[in-house]
Structures are given as C-alpha cells and as structure tokens.
Amino acid sequence: MDTGSIWRLSSAGPSDRRGFLNQIRTGAELNASTSHAIHSGQNPMKVFWRKLLLSVWIVALSTTGADAQEGSDPKIIQAARKEGEIVWYTTMSADQSTSFMERFQRKYTFLKPSIIRLGGNALLSRIVTEAKAGRSYFDVVHGTGEIVLPLMNMGLLASYVSPERKMIPEDLKDKKGFWTSVYVNSIVLGYNTNLTKGQPIPRSYDDLLQPTWRGRKISVDSTYVTFLQGLSSAWGKDRALDYLKKLSEQEPVVMRGSTVRAQLAAAGEFPLVIAYANIIQYLTEKGAPIDWVALEPAVISVNTVMAGAKASHSNAAKLFIDFTLSKEGQEKLWDFQRIPSRGDVEPKPARLFRGYKRNVVHPEEMQNLDETAKLYSQILKTR
C-alpha cells in the first residue's frame, strides 16, 4: 500500500474505506508488496511485517470511525463534532455516571463532557432556577419520572425520536419523543427466607392484609409516592387509597430507603419489605437470606432520558440519547445492577422484568403528584 493509498483511505467515505479494508483483510496488497520486495532485492519478511503493522493500524483507526456511525445519522455526528461538547444532567451516582460517559466517549472521542449529578428534587430545582434566570445549561437530562412533567410544562424539553427508540416497549416511552425510559425500578415484595420458613409467602396485595403480618412485620418506604400512584392508575384512586389505609393498619415499619430496608430485612429486623427488585436481587445473589416475589400488577417507575429544548449542543444530545438507548448503552447498565428498558436486552436475571403483570407509572399521570404525596404521607403517618 503506497502513500497515496493511505491518503485515499483516510479521506474516503465509509463505503470506500470498507473497500480498502477488505483488500487488506484478504491480504492482496500484502502479497503484492512481498513479491515486489523479492524482485527488488529487499528483505521480503521485513517488508511483509512493516506492511502488516501499517495495515493493522489503519484498520483499527478506520473501524473506530465506522463503528461510531452505527445507529446514528452521519449528519448528526458531523454537526456534533463541530459542537465539541455535551452537558449532561443526571440523577445517576457519581461513579456510575462517570463510567457511563466514559463508554460513550469511546465512540465519540471528539466530545468534551460536563456532568452535573444531583438527586431528583435537587436536579429539578436547579433546572427550574436556571430557566427562571433565563439560562439553560443542560443538553440532555436523565431523571426520574417525577421531573418530566414540570420540565415539559415549562417548555424545557425537545422532542427527539431516536432510531433506537423502536426497541423500547410502548409502555416505556411517550408517543411524541419527549421522554424515553432508560431503566426501570420494579416495586416488589421481598421476604426473609429464614423468618418466613414454614409460612405461606404473600402472593397478592391482599395477602399482606392477613393478621399474620400485623405488628411491624412489613417495611414500607416513606417516599414511595409512585407506589400509590401506580395502584391508583391500575385500580382507581378510591380503591388504592382504601388499600393503603388497610396496609397502614397493619402497623408497618415506615422508613426511607430501598437499600437500607432490604438490608434490614435480610438481617432479620422484619420478615417482609416492599422495595425495588434489583436491590433485593443483589442481596440474594450475595447469599443473604432474602428473596422476592412480584405482587401483580407490579408498580414500575421509570428513569428517563430527555433532550433540552434550549440545548447549546443539540446534536451531541441526540448522539447521547442514541447511545443511551442502544444495545451497547443498555448492556452497560448491567454493570450497575440496573434493569434495562430495551426489549432485546435481558435483565440479569430475566425475572427482574419478565414473567409478571406490570403497571408502568407514566410521567403524564403525575399531574397531581403533590396531592398524592400528601395523601401518602398522611395515611402512613410520616408527617
């Protein structure tokens, strides 16, 4: 391969580069170069290895560029290259968001990232405060379903229908492209396998109302407003409120935090815990005496990705959304013990989001979230 060939390869389009690369893979030019070396008096093996190393380097360089274009519009990629930056607001933990962004940057090395990581309420407050001051810094935002509606109502979200969206189930996205679920939280019933030995495990919501489970036998999260919202959308508001009142009469242990409550259940503080499936599953796989069952319909909350309406780097935001919803991006969530939303990416294990009826709480259903939160707190006596 001469210098002119190398130049043509580096400046060619994707289809032309593949043609050159196919020549390299079949060894056509390597064989020709070796034959030429023999007739010119050069050491053929030195020439062969020099050409081989050069070819490998070109393949690696060109393949990186080609792979980055899978699933995304090349025009968007070029526009994002000119933008050069991306600003991501997220509720992911610092270590997870850093790891996720690093994987994204392997594909798009030309983008310089800025990551702002805050809890759900704090993240929403920051965005609202910036908007009221006439500023908008985020290009793309990850957050819980609760923050979606306020941002939509303020006109801070842009519609973007990613090509990867077709692999996301219909109940995990809106129809206009304002939000798409990245991963889900499934609210299930965990149980201490030692404390419940010899007893029938509750298999329905009504089973939790049996006298057996009265008197600090069940742990309920003080902040699971989506639990009440999900039951309301599945059963109707009156039935859901009636059920929560009956559950409250069981004298549950009401405190905040899925992780700590699941750990306490595993330690034997109480036999039953209403918590997130992936957190309980993690403890189960570590050998803790705890397992779980989905009470149907299981209430599902979503963690969404959204594009900013006033993004300074709108094309970079689109690339990030494409990656987040892609198979590669969704499989990265396995590292964080998350439940991916994409239909062809199985949770680990699959039962985390397969094999039971579910009711997904859509952000649009949270118009009266403050009222729902107040009722939830009053019934469980957390205020």
* Structure confidence by residue, pLDDT tens digits, 250-289: 999 999 999 999 999 999 999 999 999 999 999 999 999 9
Q: Do 374 and 248 reside in the same domain of the chain?
A: yes
**160 neighbors 200 (Cβ within 8 angstroms):** no
In the chain, the percentage of residues whose pLDDT exceeds 90 is 79
pTM over 0.85: no
Q: Which residues of the chain are under the pLDDT cut of 50?
A: 1-39, 47, 56-70
Q: Do 61 and 34 reside in the same domain of the chain?
A: yes
Q: Do 22 and 124 reside in the same domain of the chain?
A: no
Q: Do 316 and 232 reside in the same domain of the chain?
A: no
Angle at 319 between CA 117 and CA 129, to 5 degrees: 35
Q: Do 86 and 117 reside in the same domain of the chain?
A: yes
C-alpha 355/C-alpha 107 separation (Å) is 35
Q: 10 Å Cβ neighbour count for 71?
A: 18
Q: Could you list the residue range(s) of the whole structural domain that residue 255 is in? A: 185-300+370-380
C-alpha 150/C-alpha 369 separation (Å) is 11
C-alpha 163/C-alpha 145 separation (Å) is 22
Q: Do 376 and 271 reside in the same domain of the chain?
A: yes
* Structure confidence by residue, pLDDT tens digits, 151-207: 999 999 999 999 999 999 999 999 999 999 999 999 999 999 999 999 999 999 999
